[in-house]
Structure 1
């Protein structure tokens, strides 16, 4: 992570259906609530078929939402292979990485591979390419919920409020979850619980 850097560049990476766009919007809305300038951009892949989805966010910056991968400060990954693919593009400064412990094996042709790498290999590569690596414990987080709807993105948002450089307090986080996700009365309580639980299941390794 670059020191004394007012602008914070964040990359959100994952697959269609994981709530990447919503997660980025929660961070962006929280930043605006604290008076920060925000630039936001999203790239949809084949989201309906579980393809790549990326969002890019710049805090304290309003000229452009785009930045070179070498300038990223925080990488938020909701799937391991997508996260590693982005990290391969970073040649110099290593970023801080927060990673959902989730790995999905897909068609090797998607990545131009003959054989899909083992999850352990991917874990090792990600750790080597991160300045700091934080793992979000997907399985234990999941155990806190009874139904099939598990809002991992809200849990990750909760975990991100512990990053001082983002400046998001618990009070602001709760307000943003209610503001953006509180309209569905059936899911609002689940999202509220996910925010409360999320920060408990992040671990620096």
Structure 2
């Protein structure tokens, strides 16, 4: 099976690693080979975090330049940082809520307007879905469910290789029981947003 390449980017504390774990275990539950790599960077100081997953036959989790099938970015500037991994065949899902990197706050460099970021992503990818994942997460019951909003959005993309039901099973196995209802609601809301 030709690998389906998933690149996830964001900032430390947004639940990127947990999201990748849910995807990876869902792939295993689907009897699909999967490999994963993670980069923590300066996560503990609000720095960039990324994970790379390949679902299908592959010897390395590292996604080659321009070969992501999907980019899921929890933060807009981190989506820009990931553009070397995307092409005009890549679907992009980006959370429109920004987190100012600590090093940007202390400099004279300004954070780019979201419109500029989206325009750049539109120029380089097949399709871009801009999701107000933070707002949807709050409406679902808790701001920390934002990562499940993004996962639901990704699951709704045409060609995503994992069935919704298997992702939900993996969520049930990997997320705390006391927050599961909120996370499931967040996932469903993200899924419905993209499908609509």
In 2, the alpha carbon distance for the partners of 1:91 and 1:145 equals: 30
1:114-142, Cα deviation, whole Å (9 max, x unpaired): 44322322222122222111122325413
Match of 1:60 among 28, 52, 56: 56
> Bigger CA drift: 118-127 or 41-50?
118-127
Tell whether 2:146 aligns with 1:152: yes
Cα offset, 1:17, TM superposition: 0.4
Asked whether the 8 Å contact 2:133–2:190 carries over to 1, the reply is no
Structure with more of its chain in helix, by fraction: 2
Asked whether the 8 Å contact 1:12–1:77 carries over to 2, the reply is yes
Distance 1:124 1:44, change over 3 A: same
Structure 2: runs of 5+ lacking an equivalent: none
Distance 1:121 1:164, change over 3 A: closer
Cα offset, 1:201, TM superposition: 2.5
Question: Which residue of 2 is the match for residue 104 of structure 1?
Answer: 99
Asked whether the 8 Å contact 1:26–1:157 carries over to 2, the reply is no
Cα offset, 1:151, TM superposition: 0.6
Structure 1: runs of 5+ lacking an equivalent: none
How many residues matched?
195
CA RMSD of aligned residues (A): 2.5
Match of 1:79 among 65, 75, 80: 75
In 2, the alpha carbon distance for the partners of 1:170 and 1:203 equals: 13
Distance 1:203 1:185, change over 3 A: closer
> Bigger CA drift: 101-110 or 126-135?
101-110
Cα offset, 1:177, TM superposition: 0.8
